[in-house]
Structures are given as C-alpha cells and as structure tokens.
C-alpha cells in the first residue's frame, strides 16, 4: 500500500521534474498550496503533471476531475483514494 507520505514525495518529484519548480517552492508545498494562484501553473502544465501522475501511479484521471483539482492536497488525497480503492 502506498502511504500519503510516499505519494507526496513522488508528486513533489513530478512537480520538480515536469514543471521545473524551484527547490524552495517544492519544500514549501502544503496541502493548501493552490496550483494556479500559488504555483502559477497553466493548463498545459496541468496536462503534463497529470500525464506523469497517471504513468507513475498507473491510474486514470478523468479530464473533468483534472479541471476540478485546485490544490496540491487535492492531488494527494485523490491519488491516495484511487490507490487504496483498488
């Protein structure tokens, strides 16, 4: 089983590698970090992140769900839920 801490570490790595966040921003990520307002991610960034998340965790994230995701915590919670449900 994958814990939230393991998911968080993997997602931080994906953010670092995919959208090239600076180490300070990676270290400062919290469940309340807003993806668009705080990290200034655009829709292309989100598509790239979602692709990497799907590959890493072997999950499918529906497009309508992607549009609803607003915070870093929502990514972690959604992945944890998907991984523990299977």
Nearest to 3 by CA among 77, 86, 62, 73: 77
Domain interval for residue 25: 4-85
Helix axes 4-18, 72-85, angle to 10 degrees: 130
Residue 28's pLDDT band, with cuts at 50, 70 and 90, is: very high
Give the active site residues: 42
Q: What is the domain count for the chain?
A: 1
Q: What is the pLDDT of residues 37-62, one digit of tens each?
A: 999 999 899 999 999 999 999 999 88
- Integer-rounded Cα radius of gyration of the chain: 12
Q: Rounded to two decimals, what is the model's pTM?
A: 0.89
Q: What angle do CA 4, 5, 8 make, to 5 degrees?
A: 85
The secondary structure of residue 19, as a DSSP letter, is: S
Nearest to 74 by CA among 41, 27, 31: 31
Task: Look up the CATH number of the domain holding residue 30.
Answer: 1.10.1200.10
Greatest Cα-to-Cα distance within the chain, rounded to the nearest angstrom:
34
């Amino acid at each position: 089983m994958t814990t939230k801490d393991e998911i968080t570490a993997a997602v931080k790595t994906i953010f670092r590698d995919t959208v090239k966040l600076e180490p300070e921003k990676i270290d400062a990520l919290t469940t309340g970090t807003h993806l668009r307002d705080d990290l200034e991610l655009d829709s292309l960034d989100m598509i790239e992140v979602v692709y990497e998340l799907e590959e890493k965790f072997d999950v499918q994230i529906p497009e309508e769900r992607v549009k609803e995701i607003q915070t870093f915590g929502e990514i972690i919670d959604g992945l944890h839920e998907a991984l523990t449900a299977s």
